[in-house]
Chain A
Amino acid sequence: MALLEVEGLSRSFGGVSAVCDVSFAVEEGAIVGVMGPNGSGKTTLFNLITGALAPDAGRVRIEREDVTGLPPHRICAKGIARTFQLVHPFPGLTALENVLVGQLYGRRRLPLGRAVAEAERLLETAGLGGKGHLPAARLTVVDRKRLELARALATAPRVLLMDEFMAGLTPAEVGEAIALIRRLHGQGVTLVIVEHIVWALLDLSHRIVVLSAGEKIAEGAPAAVARDPTVMDVYLGTAAGA
């Protein structure tokens, strides 16, 4: 059974169609990659799923429950979490407090005492052990990404949407990020990831959805999508004389 279902999702901004009639489904335990050139509507799609934007048409369902048009905090409580393309930590809060927000307000609302103990463990998992007392503003860019992830995981999501988690990382850090995502998947987290580093996306994903100018132009296994002529056309341009 599909855990997350997106059906005919559309949204336009003053006549420009940003996302147009996009449908796909995410099975429990899967990693689904979303790719497409700049401006193809990937982030808008995430904003529509998480309630940051209201769709003009279409449905979003989690475990068959319709969550279309709910405010973001209600959607988070239903089990859809996200990380932002540009990290959004709470700068004046400590790393520990950042994670606590997710734990106290997410899907599994823990009592404060237990949340503190578990938050320390989550920081450890994300590679931020011993940094819990630092204000988020004083963390490095990589550590802020780790914190963003830890905070999203703290909401106990059924499905986690990761928007360009690897953007701005060095090649070595990309390797670490891939290992981290695999580890999360191993722990049973269902993932939808948007990524510009195509090889990493093809490597990680079980299935790929390709967007171009707001429309879904292909969907399938990574190997098949990589050979798809329409996809190659979008990424590389039409071959001369073809």
Chain B
Amino acid sequence: MPGAALLHRPGASELRWAAVVLAAFGSLALLPLVVRRDDVLNFGVVFFLSVTLAQSWNLMAGYAGQVNLGHAAFFGLGALVTRALWIQGAPILPAMGVGAVVATVFGWLVGLPAFRLRGAYFAIGTLALAEILRITVGNSLPEISTLPAATIAGYSLTRRFYLTLVLAALAVATVAGTAASRVGLGMRAIREDEAAAEASGVGALRHKLLALSLSTLLAGLAGGAFAYYHISYYPQHPFGPQWTFDALLITFIGGAGTLHGPVLGALFYVFLKEYLAIRWVDLHLLIFGVLFVAIVLLLPGGLVEVFGRVRGRPRLTNP
């Protein structure tokens, strides 16, 4: 049955979901034309940034099986470099490109040594990198970074909305494209059983580095968009651990190793966070902690598992 073969080929589900998600993003592109409220557009920017950051974390952990506990390092580096270049007069897109490349280079600094070892070295290495960078940036750049008055005068929120929308679409397309390709299957094989993957011809180091490169590039771009979006913030802020844990929580809430999981997760998380933060301020962090534990214990496949169950197709969760 050639039809069945096509249906079951790797990444078929991701490609179908990517079409749905990209169509939804396409219709969201009309939003600034109909709604002229800043709060709605701001919500959109936060949502798209969350999707980008969560998908970049998902590619690494959900597909290649490598848990990154310092994703904020790459988001922060993207923000730091992009902001510096852009304020000095560079156009925003090339500035974001440079920021993303710098983030990737730092990713290799951790990945090259850590991936030669098995175990938690990569998770520990990324966690350490993020904290070192956060403290270093905090000490060397203690002043708040504010855009020049001329830039603020010409600030366009709509432009930020479209930039982050395109970025989120790029992240979704990257994950779908990877999942449907040969290297995507190799990454998943490594996630499932590294020894068996190696014995079947999959070069683990090369695949992990590829996943890391794509992941850090996307995280760096998201950081660059953050630097372009925020009028003023402390330079160490985007290096904070909350960026890592936002990406991790969204991925797990939605469903790691799926394409639509992190998108649904981001929608759920961003809505809930706004709502809870207004009502209970700092208490919302505690609520998210409890939510995370509950999801891991009761619903290891994330929200998308619920839909799978409803449709009578129990999804197998990743160990």
Contacts and interface: CB of A to CB of B under 8 A. Distances in A.
B200 A89 contact: no
Contacts of B131: none
Contacts of A135: 316
A133 B196 contact: no
Interface string A68-96: 00011110110001101000111111101
Contacts of B39: none
B186 A132 contact: no
A101 B202 contact: yes
A97 interface: yes
Nearest to A161: B199
A50 to B, nearest CB: 6
Nearest to B188: A93
Contacts of A92: 188, 191-192, 257, 316-319
A133 to B, nearest CB: 5
B185 to A, nearest CB: 6
A132 to B, nearest CB: 6
A102 B202 CA distance: 8
Contacts of B196: 84, 88-90
Contact of B198 (A71, A104, A106): A71
Most buried by A among B2, B9, B195, B204: B9
Contacts of B204: 73
B138 to A, nearest CB: 40
B197 A101 contact: yes
Given A73-B201, A104-B185, A94 B319 contact: no
B10 interface: yes
A52 interface: yes
Interface residues of B, number: 31
Contact of B199 (A81, A91, A116, A133): A81
B186 A104 contact: yes
Contacts of B318: 92
Most buried by A among B182, B186, B196: B196
A137 interface: yes
Given A52-B199, A104-B182, A96 B8 contact: yes
B192 A93 contact: yes
Given A91-B319, A104-B186, A73 B193 contact: no
A77 B203 CA distance: 10
A160 to B, nearest CB: 12
A120 B9 CA distance: 11
A76 B200 contact: yes
Given A72-B199, A90-B192, A102-B201, A133 B186 contact: no
B201 A105 contact: yes
Nearest to A80: B199
Contact of B201 (A52, A76, A133): A76
Contacts of A105: 182, 186, 200-202
Given A73-B201, A76-B201, A90 B8 contact: no
A105 B206 CA distance: 13
A198 B316 CA distance: 39
Nearest to B190: A90
Contact of B10 (A88, A100, A151): A100
Nearest to A97: B10
A138 interface: yes
Interface string B165-191: 000000000000000011001101101
Given A90-B192, A92-B191, A93-B192, 17 more contacts: A71-B198, A76-B199, A81-B199, A81-B200, A88-B195, A89-B193, A92-B192, A92-B316, A96-B5, A101-B200, A105-B201, A106-B200, A116-B6, A133-B8, A138-B316, A152-B200, A154-B200
22 contacts: A50-B199, A52-B195, A71-B203, A72-B195, A73-B202, A73-B204, A81-B199, A81-B200, A88-B195, A90-B189, A91-B316, A91-B319, A92-B188, A92-B317, A93-B188, A94-B8, A97-B185, A100-B10, A101-B189, A105-B201, A135-B316, A152-B200
Interface of B: 2, 4-6, 8-10, 181-182, 185-186, 188-189, 191-193, 195-204, 257, 316-319
